[in-house]
Structure 1
């Protein structure tokens, strides 16, 4: 957090949490194979830094876990990882070209994919509230080891979700960052 918490900082964090909750509930209720739960985390991490990404991601996991999707509590480390990684990427090496987003999305996705694969495999045996669980069951039924099936589905859905979200954030960042000095 900045040395002095400003109303702008708190307002943007609240907006980030709200965006995450709306996105995660939309994906949950429509059974989408994407998660849409990190738009606000990434937005705050890009504009305010890694600490804000941690704050927004952790708060989102807690609020969604207590209200609409209990699985969200178990996946809170992924929200924290995303906030931290995106914050550091935009703090030290902001992508300036569209091709850099593909690499950044991979850097953001891979640690979270490894963690979520372990959580899904050991705690939930491959079945969660996400629409992607259906693909895990199809692969498992086809003879793929369940841990590998979970990883394959997670890496593809995580990467697509993070790339789409990162692209939207990148567009917003390019518009907002020159006009406002959000970085703490």
Structure 2
């Protein structure tokens, strides 16, 4: 196997681990954000949309088997996040004043998918800390689907914003030799 292929597999495995640890921390701390897409967005930024989608799938399977069965059901949300993040990182949507709009473009498709999953499959109650907010909105008179969508939009946006900022920071600190290696070029000197 070429060295670039080995590095891509290693980076993907590292990003899967970031997702799993982030999701586990959010789960045990009952945070209103998920932290399960930091690795997905980072891998999409560094290696592209396909690798972002692969990271989301592997993370969902591993988390679903080991700690949170709900993660399996939300795999489509992670995949669309990886795809869109990879495409948006190729543009300028995550730079300067465009960042809030880029995050919005990233969050909305996944929010639609995850809201439908949470509302129709689970009645708005999942393992995340945001389920409490859904129940509050539902008890004050909002429809369950609307309650889930409002809460998902707020929490997904915050989660994606944190994830994109972390991914941009890490990406900006990658060395030119490492970046050249990922592109299949021969780096000058040792990593």
TM-score w.r.t. structure 1 length?
0.93
Decide which of 85, 101, 108 is 1:110's aligned counterpart.
Answer: 108
Equivalences for 1:36-55 in 2 at 5 Å? 36-55=35-54
Hey, what does 1:28 align to over in structure 2?
27
Hey, what does 2:77 align to over in structure 1?
78
Q: Which runs of 5+ in 2 are unaligned?
A: 185-191
For 2:173 and 2:92, locate their aligned partners in 1 and report how far apart those are by CA, in whole Å: 14
User: What displacement does 1:178 show?
Assistant: 4.3
* 1:169 and 2:167 matched: yes
> How big is the alpha-carbon RMSD for the aligned residues of Structure 1 and Structure 2?
1.7
Q: Which runs of 5+ in 1 are unaligned?
A: none
* 1:130 and 2:128 matched: yes
- CA 1:114–1:175: 2 relative to 1, 3 Å: same
Deviation beyond 2 Å, 4+ runs, structure 1: 94-98, 181-184
Higher Cα Rg: structure 1 or 2? 2
For 2:59 and 2:175, locate their aligned partners in 1 and report how far apart those are by CA, in whole Å: 24
For 1:144 and 1:156, locate their aligned partners in 2 and report how far apart those are by CA, in whole Å: 16
TM-score w.r.t. structure 2 length?
0.90
For 1:85 and 1:143, locate their aligned partners in 2 and report how far apart those are by CA, in whole Å: 34
Structure 1 contact 38–165 (Cα < 8 Å) conserved: yes
Can you list the C-alpha shifts for 1:25-50, whole angstroms capped at 9, x where unaligned? Answer: 00000100000001111111101011
